[in-house]
């Protein structure tokens, strides 16, 4: 594909991700779950948590796009592409749930996307094993984050909980695949820095 076509394609993809426009390849896990009534506070809290999850998927798209683009080995590129498709399912599911809750995606999505793409590019430039290690650590932290959301979401919000549970399963599988392909453990300072960045993102995205 000519360079200009690639640039246009990447830009179009970024705009769709930032705007919350995504197509799921799998059925929404909440599709067969009965709708329940939430009071105003519960609905607002669920929306805040699902907006955080949507931002996480915006970042995942940017990370996987960048890491796949600059990966060296073909199996690594294929893994990033496959995981990216499943992450796009998450993007579509969380966006749909936000609409059902009468809410919106984060106003800061352009910032989250650009920052994550830059981070993914740096990780990829460090080599495939470190890039995969970055994925494994990211997914480990995302798993913890989603587990906490299963505790925080209102018990009545069975639709959001169904989505989060499937997301958690997928993230565990992505982390395991990255380790199996040779991902190395990140240094402890890097893990702590990632956790701090994640805390800032989740705190802001809940509201904005």
Per-residue pLDDT, 197: 86
Nearest 10 degrees: Cα torsion 171, 176, 178, 182: 170
Instruction: Report yes or no on whether pTM surpasses 0.85.
Output: yes
Question: Which CATH number covers residue 63?
Answer: 1.20.1260.10
CB 30 within 8 Å of CB 97: yes
The residue with tokens 């300072």 is: 189
Residue (of 1, 11, 4) closest to 117 by Cα position: 11
Q: How many domains does the chain have?
A: 1
CB contact set of 205 (below 8 Å; sequence gap of 6+): 51, 52, 55, 106, 108, 112
Which pLDDT score, from 0 to 100, does residue 148 have?
A: 94
Q: How far is CA 90 from CA 8, 31, 79, 147, 188, in A?
A: 24, 14, 17, 15, 29
**Residue 22: inside a domain, yes or no?**
no
Residue 157 resides in a domain = yes
Distance CA 184, CA 31 (A): 38
Establish if 68 belongs to a structural domain.
yes
Flag whether 25 is in a domain: no
Place of tokens 């565990």: 172
Per-residue tens of pLDDT for the chain, all 208 residues: 565 666 566 666 776 677 767 778 899 999 889 888 899 999 999 999 999 999 999 998 888 888 888 888 888 888 888 888 888 999 999 999 999 999 999 999 999 999 999 988 988 888 889 989 988 999 999 999 999 999 999 999 999 999 999 999 999 999 999 888 888 888 888 888 888 888 888 899 999 9
Rounded Cα distance, 43 and 35, in Å = 12
Q: Is residue 27 part of a domain?
A: no
Residue 23: inside a domain, yes or no?
no
In a domain, 137, yes or no: yes
The domain of 51 spans 3-16+39-205
- 29: in domain: no
- Residue 13 to residue 19: CA distance in whole angstroms: 10
């Amino acid at each position: 594909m000519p360079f200009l076509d690639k640039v246009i394609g990447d830009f179009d993809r970024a705009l769709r991700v930032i705007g919350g426009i995504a197509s799921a390849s799998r059925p929404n896990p909440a599709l067969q779950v009965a709708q329940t009534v939430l009071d105003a506070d519960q609905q607002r809290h669920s929306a805040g948590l699902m907006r955080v999850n949507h931002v996480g998927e915006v970042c995942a798209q940017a990370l996987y796009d960048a890491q796949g683009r600059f990966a060296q080995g073909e199996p690594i590129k294929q893994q990033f592409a496959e995981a990216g498709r499943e992450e796009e399912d998450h993007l579509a599911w969380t966006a749909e749930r936000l609409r059902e809750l009468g809410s919106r995606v984060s106003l800061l999505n352009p910032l989250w996307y650009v920052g994550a793409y830059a981070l993914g590019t740096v990780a990829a430039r460090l080599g495939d094993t470190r890039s995969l290690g970055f994925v494994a650590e990211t997914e480990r932290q995302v798993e913890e984050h989603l587990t906490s959301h299963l505790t925080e979401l209102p018990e009545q919000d069975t639709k959001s909980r169904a989505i989060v549970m499937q997301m958690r399963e997928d993230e565990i599988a992505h982390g395991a695949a990255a380790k199996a392909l040779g991902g190395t453990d990140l240094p402890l300072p890097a893990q702590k820095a990632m956790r701090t960045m994640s805390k800032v993102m989740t705190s802001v995205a809940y509201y904005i």
